[in-house]
Structure formats: C-alpha cells, structure tokens
Amino acid sequence: MIKMWKEFSKGLWKELPPFRLVLGLCPVLAVTKTADGGLGMGLAVVFVLTLSNLLVSLVRKIVPPKVRIACYIVIAASLVVAVELLMQAFAYTLYQKLGIFVSLIVVNCIILGRAEAFASKNPPHLSVADGLGMGLGFTLSLTFLGALREIFGYGTLFGVPVMGTSFKPFSFMIEAPGAFVCLGMLLGAMNYFTNLQRRRKGLAPRGNPAHECGSCGLCQGGK
C-alpha cells in the first residue's frame, strides 16, 4: 500500500511530467489555449496511460522481447481509438476542440515511455498507481499552463471572465509563439524553485533536467 502511494505520488511532484520528466511535449502547446482544453486532454491521457500500464503489465511475462514494442503500440493505439469513440459519443465539443491531438496521444512518448520504463518491469497494481500518478500530474501541468494562457490571452478562466472590464487580451499568449515562450519560462521557473529548495537544504545546485529525445527510454529499448 505504501509502495503504491509512493509510485502514485511521484508523478505529482518529484517526476511531474512534462516539467520534471520532460516527456510528451507535443500536445502540451497545442491544447493549452484554454484551461478546459488542457484538462480534457489530460483526462484522456490519464485514461490511456492507466489502462495501457495495466495491460502492458499484465502481458509482460508472455510477450516475447523482440515484439514487445509492437505489442505496446497495438495496446496504446487501441486505447486511443477507444478514447476517440467515447469522446465523440459523450463529449463531442471537446473532441472538436482537440482535433487530431486525440489521435496523437498514441505517439505521445509518455505512454510508450512509461510502458517500457515502468509497466514492463512491475506488477499490475504498481503500474496502475504509476499510470494514475503520472497521468494526473500531466493533467495538472496542462490545466495550469492552459489556465495561465487563458487568463492572459482571453481574460477568462474556464470560460468565466476574471480580469475585469478594462482588460485588453494579450493575444500573444494564445498564439504559437506565446505557447513556446510560456512553456520555456515555466520550465525555467521550475528549475529555479528546485535549486532554491536545494540551497535551503544546503545542497549544491543541480543541473537542469535535460530533454533528450531518447529520454523516454523507448529508443534504446527498441534497439
């Protein structure tokens, strides 16, 4: 139980994706124009990630190592199709808003990365905890970024005006350039706080987490 909580909670701060564990940047910029876009995308990722972790973990002993990546891709892609169908059936406006980024969850390295780095080596209950934690962390990050961009870009939060009548929307924030700069500054702020904490504890400052494409662990795994 304690171990499950540990695997669950690490995704919420210590390895918070995509800020601490720089995984799955693609949808981060596209769907965070507004807070509800980020929230919807995040929940879709929670669904896919938790179930794919569970399924990968269940089949981890019977899948031959050579075709395991292919199996993970089939599992993830099927779950994504399931999300697409469910979203069309019960949340059509969200589906219209997210567009092709729902389908692109399948190539979000957080899914295959967690399957390869965690679920293929751990029992189902821990894998589910890991998936839930990572997914919720991802949701929190996306919602936060979406809220930030929505507040400054539209002057609203979840569609409710919050900035008063004299506010002129800062439309830079909702366009592509603003998305990149905003995410960059947020990552910078994250690094700053990490090192501030370390300095308080009397530790030497740490280098920034590197973002290598291979950090999902898939590429070495695929070889």
Partner 1 sequence: MQEYLLLVLAAIFVNNIVLAQYLGNCPFIGTSKSLGVAGGMGAAVVFVATLSTAITWAVQEFLLIPAGLEYLQTIAFILVIASLVQFVEMFLKRMLPPLYRSLGIFLPLITTNCAVLGIALIVQRNEYDFFKAVIFAFASGLGFALALVVLSGIRERLDLVRVPRSLKGTPIALVMAGLMSLAFFAFKGMIS
Partner 2 sequence: MREILKMVVVLSIICGLAGLSLASLKQFTAPYIVEQELTFVQGPAIASVFDDFDNDPVKDRKTFQLPETGEKVTVFPARRDGRLLGVAFETKGQGYGGDLGIMVGFNFQPEGVQGIGVTTMKETPGIGARVAKHGFTGQFRGHALTDLEFRSQGGDIDAVSGATVSSTAAMHSVKKALHIYTSLKGQFTEAFGTEAP
Name which of partner 2, partner 1, none residue 222 binds, using a CB cut-off of 5 to 8 Å depending on partner kind.
Answer: partner 1
- Give the nearest distance from C-beta 80 to partner 1 in angstroms: 5
Structural contact between residues 11 and 110, judged by C-beta atoms closer than 8 angstroms = no
Distances in Å between the alpha carbon of 155 and those of 121, 150, 158, 159, 165?
A: 46, 6, 10, 9, 9
Is 201 one of the binding residues for partner 2 (CB under 8 A)?
A: no
HSE-up of 127 (CA within 13 Å, CB side)? 27
Window contacting partner 1 (CB under 8 A); options: 2-10, 134-142, 145-153, 181-189: 181-189
Is 64 one of the binding residues for partner 2 (CB under 8 A)?
A: yes
Is 78 one of the binding residues for partner 2 (CB under 8 A)?
A: yes
Is 71 one of the binding residues for partner 2 (CB under 8 A)?
A: yes
- Pairing type for strands 156-157 and 160-161 reads antiparallel
Distances in Å between the alpha carbon of 95 and those of 50, 130, 157, 190?
A: 20, 26, 20, 31
- Give the nearest distance from C-beta 15 to partner 2 in angstroms: 29
Is 222 one of the binding residues for partner 2 (CB under 8 A)?
A: no
Name which of residues 90 to 109 contact partner 2 (CB under 8 A).
90, 92-93, 96
CA angle 182, 142, 36 (to 5 degrees): 110
Is 58 one of the binding residues for partner 1 (CB under 8 A)?
A: no
Structural contact between residues 39 and 125, judged by C-beta atoms closer than 8 angstroms = no
- Give the nearest distance from C-beta 151 to partner 2 in angstroms: 27
- Give the nearest distance from C-beta 171 to partner 1 in angstroms: 11
Residue closest to 22 by CA, chosen among 192, 175, 187? 187
Distance CA 19, CA 8 (A): 17
**Can you tell me which of 3, 5, 13, 82 binds partner 2, judged by CB under 8 A?**
82
**Cα Rg for the chain, rounded, in angstroms?**
18
Work out the number of other CB atoms within 10 angstroms of the CB of residue 155. 16
Q: Using CB under 8 A as the criterion, which residues of the chain lie in contact with partner 1 when the complex forms? A: 22, 24-30, 69-70, 73-74, 77-78, 80-81, 84-85, 99-100, 103-104, 106-109, 112, 175-185, 187-189, 191-192, 195, 205, 207-216, 218-219, 222-223
Q: Using CB under 8 A as the criterion, which residues of the chain lie in contact with partner 2 when the complex forms? A: 59, 62-64, 66-67, 70-71, 74-75, 77-78, 81-82, 85-86, 88-90, 92-93, 96
